[in-house]
Structure 1
Amino acid sequence: MPLMKPNIRWNASLLKSQKLACTLRIRRCVGEKSGRRLSLMRPEISVLMSVYNGERYLSEAVESILRQTFSDFEYIIFDDGSTDRSWDILTKYAGQDQRIRLFRNATNLGLTKTLNKGLTLARGTYIARQDADDISLSERFAQQVAYMEAHPSVALVSTGVQYIHEHASQQWVDMPPHDPLMLRWLLLFWNPIKHSTVLWRRELVTSRVGHYNPSFVYAQDYDLWVRMAEHLSIATLPLVLVTMRWHDEAISVANITPQDAFGIQIIRHQLRRYFPHTYFTEQEVTQLRCIPQQKDGYHSTYLWQLTSSQLEQAGRLYFQLWKQFRKVEGVSKNDPQRWVLLHHKIEQDLVALLRYCKHRKWLRSGARLIRLYLQSSPQRAGSFGAMLLRRFWSSVPRSECV
């Protein structure tokens, strides 16, 4: 199955300004002269990649960066103590393209510390990330730089992802929401921004947020996005510009349990913004994460472990959080498009939970979830509330509606 290609018409709409188009053409020409860059010129992008025993997919990953149509970048690559052929592969490419700055850790430092070393060496206006088993489509940097220059208030931009399973022909797309406030809401439960898709303003983020938290061995990207979102604006391009492999050796697959442990710390930190005087246990946070629909399997895996009373408790916290989120972030009917967008997401989650309750024959729990939602959002008790009650309670025995 062919990979999804970026929508070039969207790129054209970004380049309406003749000045911007001219600037981008000049920058591309600077980087395209035989793969060389002038040492005294600051590159537009610093691409960071850490490699640990990644020989299997490494060549494809490196070549996907070197073939970018936007070529004004430096490519900072660390071999993090590999014991396979990764170093030999990297030295071959470094000898062919002077944009590559190759380093080797004496011992394995891990992803977080290695990326922080790369950030201290970076000189670019922007930072881009690339993992050793992912593929960036050739227009990725051109699209992202164009977006950032057209939106100077945005600190970070990510893209959609196409996943490929290593043992099957199955492919699927994950597209984070474009709305910044919707991203803030989803970050309360999991990380919707994939590490290999980001491009951010180096000096702005360093001065306002800093680097990766060295205490986070896993989920270091999730922690950084959350801290960015608290102080800066982040966005998503509605394009698939990165292909990611889903295989057993991938960090997100091989370390699901440690990732969850660090993720719970990050969620607990965020909850303090909305409930400053409440302490949430690990169990409460784990149960809360089961409520919103997710695409990474967490929802279905952990939801089945809850009892009906635990589901109701998690639902109560979810709708309380939704009420506080609207209050703290200033979500109101004065912004009708965003108001409807966010409520639509909450109601999607609620409908999915009601289907689950019917499947488990937890009809009373389903009825209570409806009440909890309408109590948190009484303004939605009109047509949506009536429709929901009719559809759900039509199959609920009267004895269960008490």
Structure 2
Amino acid sequence: MNISAVIPCYNGDRFLQEAVESINTQTYLPREIIIVNDGSNDESERVIEQLKASSQVPITSVNQVNHGVSAARNVGIATASSDWIAFLDVDDLWLPTMLESKVKFAEAQGLTSGLICCNYYVDAIDDANKKHNDSRYAQSIHDRVMQSEEFQSILLKENFIGTATTMMFSRKDALLVGGFDSFLKHSEEFDFILRFACNSKVAVLSKPLALKRHHGDNLSNDKELYFYSHYFSCKRNVLYKDKYSRVCFSSKIRGLMQRDLEKFATGYCNQIFEKKKSSGLIVYVKFYSDMRTLMGFLNHSLGFLKKIIRTISFGLARSKR
């Protein structure tokens, strides 16, 4: 199998050398490394040029104005010359058998296309830090090939994939669904996988093959962005119709996405309220239009009521001072 490794990079100069080294030490080497420098204003461009001279695997770099990680991923897919794409976020690492394990699984299952993800470590390579340790959903689908609806229904219950660093997929299938949504600056891999699985088989390996590292600059730390991105993804995907779009979800999956968009809409309102109470209450009212199920309406109303009570309580407490 020929594989292109793609690294989106924004101000990742302190991570680039380790990331590229983790690719060069693979027991199954990719054909190429593509680094998309997404408008970095640190020393990333200089470091990339140095790595081109030292890397065992040929490196192609693309410099662009900052458009966000989704756009950078799409540029990487478009630039790649291989049939398969494997992502590595610049601040993460692949373990040495990442590609070999996936290639062997694909060959054993006769997969010539599709998506293969894997378990991974969070912050430290230790059994206690395996992402899927406490996920009964992930463990229920380990090491087997799934069709669209089964995988999508489980992913909507819990996003155990967690990071694009775990993903290897066929380029043609990614192009078929239009790649990543460039509007999204968070949870873009969740949205991409949901759409990708409409037309392709998916597998999740139980073996942890990557290390995801958290630090102060992670976008995943932005809870407001997290809730809104999931809400937006589900709302947009619910509207897809088979006759007019490249992807189409079953009625069961659309129902699960409607449930999720309601949950994440309420979560987003909570985040806005914690920043500014008046704005939060206004957003709560606005998002009532998205509540299409009884459970979603009740949960949203309960959250709204609690926020009104808190606002009144704070006002009374201030007036007594």
Mapped to 1, the partners of 2:96 and 2:258 lie a distance apart of 44
Residues 102-147 of structure 1: per-residue CA shift (max 9 Å, x gap): 2212x21211112111111111121000011101001101111111
Match of 2:96 among 118, 134, 138: 138
1:51 positional shift: 0.9
Q: Does 1:158 align with 2:124?
A: no
Alignment of 1:176-215 (within 5 A): 176=138, 177-178=141-142, 180=146, 183-193=151-161, 194-206=163-175, 208-215=176-183
1:58 positional shift: 2.3
Change (3 A) 1:182 1:95: same
Highest CA radius of gyration, 1 or 2?
1
Contact 2:234–2:261 (8 Å) recurs in 1: no
Identity %: 24
Change (3 A) 1:81 1:227: same
Tell me the equivalent position of 2:234. 267
Unaligned 5+ runs, structure 1 = 1-26, 28-43, 290-312, 319-402
Ranked by relative contact order (alpha carbons within 8 Å, sequence separation 6 or more), the top structure is 2
Tell me the equivalent position of 2:263. 285
Change (3 A) 1:174 1:314: farther
Match of 1:226 among 194, 215, 234: 194
Change (3 A) 1:83 1:159: same
Mapped to 1, the partners of 2:102 and 2:198 lie a distance apart of 22
> TM-score normalised to the size of structure 2?
0.68
Mapped to 1, the partners of 2:226 and 2:93 lie a distance apart of 23
Aligned residues: 250
1:72 positional shift: 3.7
Tell me the equivalent position of 2:246. none
> TM-score normalised to the size of structure 1?
0.55
RMSD: 3.5
Mapped to 2, the partners of 1:278 and 1:142 lie a distance apart of 35
1:188 aligns to what SS in structure 2? helix
Unaligned 5+ runs, structure 2 = 133-137, 240-249, 268-293, 300-321
Mapped to 2, the partners of 1:209 and 1:149 lie a distance apart of 24
Match of 1:58 among 5, 16, 22: 16
Tell me the equivalent position of 2:209. 241
Mapped to 1, the partners of 2:34 and 2:205 lie a distance apart of 24
Change (3 A) 1:78 1:283: closer
Mapped to 1, the partners of 2:214 and 2:127 lie a distance apart of 10
Residues 205-228 of structure 1: per-residue CA shift (max 9 Å, x gap): 42x423112232322211110011
Contact 2:27–2:96 (8 Å) recurs in 1: yes
